[in-house]
Chain A
Amino acid sequence: MSVFVVGYYSLLIAASCLAAYYKRREPFLIIFGLTLISIIVGIIGGIGALKAITTVVALLALAAGMSYAFKEFLVTITPERWAKELRTAPLTASFGMFVIFIYAIAGIFAPVIAPHGEAEVIASSFAPPDQNMLLGADQLGRDMFSRIIYGARNSVGLALVATALAFFMGALAGLLAATRGGWFDQVMGRAADIVMSVPSLIFALLMLSIFGTNLIVIVIVVGVIYSPRVFRLTRAVAGNVVVMDYIEAAKLRGEGNWYLIRKEILPNSTAPLIAEFGLEFCFVFLLIAGLSFLGLGIQPPTADWGSMVRENATLISFGEITPLIPAAAIALLTVAVNFVVDWMLYRSSGLKE
């Protein structure tokens, strides 16, 4: 038996004994459960399987450690009011924030970080990774790593702008509908129904083939597709606020609609709206990635994660994971955003008490 296997089991057993001795129920169950599973896996899969388990656990531990440290860092540097909120964040949420932070850095400083230009052909097509190219080359011989960094800027930036537009339109219409009611509410509601009744991808394809595929059209089309959901949520949330006595007091004071929306309703409906923003961002992001994959989104040679998956798809048949890297980037961001959103939903839903 190798030193690794002996060390592996003795570490696990020692840890579970320690946990049991100090009456830590949950850690003990997890560690000892892992020990039992390792015994079975070790018999079936041998040392390789045990090493895989070690790697996964180490990665998880690393991510957890990083998230914890990142949370403490945020708590330390932010002012007291924010720090108090941040301290309640679970590890998943701080992991999400960390990932978003990394993506933001990559997107903003893309030209500095990326070793090559996004459209620069530097090698033969599908060249394997070497010292120059971390992740190898794509189908035209461009550096994969540089394109992923640039892709963060293009895909995420575009999704951000489109989501912001959807939110601006949807929230404004929703707030107005809730405050004014009557025919305005009805008209906006039915308009939203119509947009929502058309499948979003088909609607986007239709609009993009009519108006052509440039960035502004994409942003507007995606904004229009997603604004009805925001409209509905905002109208529902604002509808609950509008019936409060303080709104009645403001109305009786003679305040205009704009004041009501800005000062009285909006501050009381921000929490669910921010959570919805995160969720909506994921959908928009996936829609744009989907459009790019179909060739109607961001046009080459601009790097974009969706189209990168499509362009390199042929490599999958050769057992290469290169085309999955941009897909993984999309997945990681989506998961990260959802972690943060979950935490915000938890806070805003009043479950915390």
Chain B
Amino acid sequence: MLAQEMTSEVVASSGWFLEHAWLIPVIPAIAFVLIIFFGKKMPMKGSELGVLSMLSSLVFSGGAAWQWIQRVNSVVDGAHEAVVEGAHHAAPYVQPVIHEWTWWQSGGFHFGIGQHIDGLALTLLVVVAFISSLVQIYSLEYLRGDRRYTHFFAALTLFSAGMLCMVLAPNMVQLILGWEIMGLCSFMLIGHWWEEEANSRAALKAFFTVRVGDMGLLIGTAILFFSANNWTQKNLGVSGFNISGLSAWAMSGEASHSALTWGAVALFIACIGKSGQFPLHTWLPDAMAGPTPVSSLLHSSTMVVAGVFLVARLYPIFWEGMKIGDTNINFIVLIGGITIVIAALLAFVQHDIKKVLAYSTVSQLGYMMMGLGAGAWLPAVFHIFTHAFFKACLFLSAGSVSHSGSHHSFDMKKDMGGLAKKMPITATTWIISTLALAGVFPLAGFFSKDEIIDNVGHNGYNAFMIVGLTGAFLTAAYMTRATYLTFFGEARGAAAGIHHDEHDEHAVVDTHTSHDTHVAVDPHDVHTDHGPHESPKLITVPLMILAALALTAGLSNATPFGESWERFKKYVEPGSEYVMVGSEMAPEHGAEVVEISAVSMSVTSEEEVAEEGCAVVAPEAGMVCYFPTISHAPFKWSKAALSLIIVAFGLVSSWLFCVQYYTRRNKRLVGLTERNKVLRGGYTFLWNKCYLDELYEKVIVHSIAHPIAKAAYWANQNILDGIVNGAGKVSRRVAGWVYRNIDQRVVDGAVNGSGAAARGTGGALRPVQSGKVNQYGALLFSAAAIGALILVIINT
């Protein structure tokens, strides 16, 4: 292969918005401070500050996105002119706009803060700013009269600041900063009505479960920093925290493979926690205890995609660490696939409309992870984009139903039904979004989800293509069930105008607590008591905007219509071209001259187009890669038709079933789960959320704590009674110490309400815990000494 180097000067245009994109998170951060200090004295209790800051962030992000498009155009056109030979060459790499300043330093370490703007960051920036604006406008009405109205807007604004800060992070330190701010805001907003014990428990559960994963983020960052720092300092002059530095290091072929693998696994554990993937997804449905705008913004469209974003952002690390290009099964794709199916099945047995949506979110996040794990980077990122619109719309519609239709209840079986006639706008937006989610042809979900499935199969992960198709069927079916129960059939409970004060325990107590003040303050809302009606404009207008986007957003990367429609591919996916080291150090802002060296490899004998480029051939000295070469599945109508048929089958069969089951009360179907053993087993299994909570609470705690208690007891009876009394205490203290650790880590950390289980299993251990500091200290120090001893023995 003859590498022919052609260097040309390409003017990569830039612009004010691109250069000052760091302002985007700063605006809401300032607004947060202002709301906290002055919000209560403002005429609209600080909410105007939140809405204004989000709108200006949206303007800034939009401006930056526009200028990015100009920049890509200028580079791509330049590159086409430069490469005279028509040989296949990698897509041109458009330099991201990176600025980094020293934030703080300690000793020799400098920690930067700044911006890293490229297509991925801009996609997320626009989505976050846009959805945040709409949700804040919606909340003006939804939370009117709430007792912590100002604090609600403060927390929402801080969340947006954190998310935007994370999205444009140029290094892992800033990313962790934004990540943790989001976790904190999630905790505050889920527990917004903390007077209800269920809400504060859900908030704690969410916080601790995500924290379990966050340990992986810290560990993974540390692993990558210490492995990459030398290389990045030497070759790029940036620290090992730098994201583009890490990407280049991963693709350089000089990276230690075990460091890459373990770093990727640790980071992916953080993503499992944050994005509600399979073993740690249990927090997300419980997080629906928060107000509906929170569920819509944090727990469906933006915060939970942070994990997906992290994988997409550091994609070269996962690509190399998990060998995505070479295998047909890996950790990411496996977790994603399991999540899709399990969450979709769980969505069938929920009574609470928001929990259906929560499990649906988990399932869709599984699609994104599966796509990323199988090399379908672009469809996965595109699915983040489209999913944000229709899922936010679904949640806000559910909120609208509860706000005006079902008297603040979220129980589909008790308080909804037949609302389509009473709430035409909400019903329309819901149905459009449902169809988009299910992936019906011209709507947003079709273009993204179908592309994921298609590319997963194209890249050799055939088993997971089937998983994806199964998921598509299930999605269509459970969404039809939710739609039918909410908007069609006969009206039940509050939807029929019947008010029952006792909400059953499954109903998430949403505006419930604030309802008394609510009615008193808002004169427009007095007629809530006259039964279901359409929501006011502040609620319906955001719904209509989102529904319009759910209809059309897919067209921004409509693969079926040819290459000119694939705008996402052109503007968002980073090029996989080799880049000369040093070319990214163009200091001037404004229009800058960037040395782009297009390495066109003239093909020698065989026409092996895919055998070249980043990730296939390690870059030469002086060159770096920032993104692997990813092949895209060519669109075929036959494949699309297959998935469309599956989706249609899901929609129709579920609809027919619902009509028979819920309205006609067909004898053969009603009570089937009681009569058929297999079905009953499956139903019970799902109803108990696959027994995952039980697994965490009972099995793990039991299996660890119980044998230890037994062993301690046995030792006490058989050995230690004979020896000194004090020595006997020591070993029981060991059991007590281990038990305390289990208590701390598993019970507090992973599960709520496991106090009972802990008490049950710990009954025998109870007298063991002396509560005396000295004994704990003795165990601590001797454990440290023994640990050191083991290290010494290993190392000699």
**Do A and B originate from a single complex?**
no
A contact residues vs B (CB 8 Å cutoff) = none
B contact residues vs A (CB 8 Å cutoff) = none
